[in-house]
Structure 1
């Protein structure tokens, strides 16, 4: 495993130490790896949402009424509740 050294201001260092002292993480490296995994997941979700937004813009204006769009969205939401 590769090693990276980082410098933190004292308040951040204290925070990392409090996270490891709480027992949630065994050490600072584990805490930082967890932060990176969460950031990677967040970045992936944002990219997926941006892709959907881009596809929506590229599809052009809809000829459906706002009422039809809401009705379809409600149907999809109700169908997803059963999954």
Structure 2
């Protein structure tokens, strides 16, 4: 796969490699893509939890009771 980058982005990627954290610009791009996948997974997980919460309806507990239960679990 070949990717064309504007000069400013190419320079940025090359500067990240020059810092020594990445062995090549390809390594840097792969890391960015892995992180993007992880972020997308986290967002999907959170959205599922939000949807579940909305579908469950209102709670019978007060906010203080909810936090007390949470702290007890920790």
Q: Tell me if both proteins adopt one fold, taking TM over 0.5 as the criterion.
A: yes
Query: What CA distance in whole angstroms lies between the structure 2 residues aligned with 1:65 and 1:6?
Result: 53
Tell me: higher relative CO, structure 1 or 2? Use CA pairs within 8 A at least 6 residues apart.
Answer: 2
Number of equivalent positions: 74
Q: CA deviation at 1:16?
A: 0.5
Q: 1:50 aligns with which of 42, 47, 50?
A: 47
Structure 2 unaligned regions, length at least 5:
none
Structure 1 runs of 4+ off > 2 angstroms?
none
Q: CA deviation at 1:27?
A: 0.8
Give the RMSD, CA atoms, in angstroms: 1.0
- Give the TM-score, by structure 2 length: 0.91
- Give the TM-score, by structure 1 length: 0.82
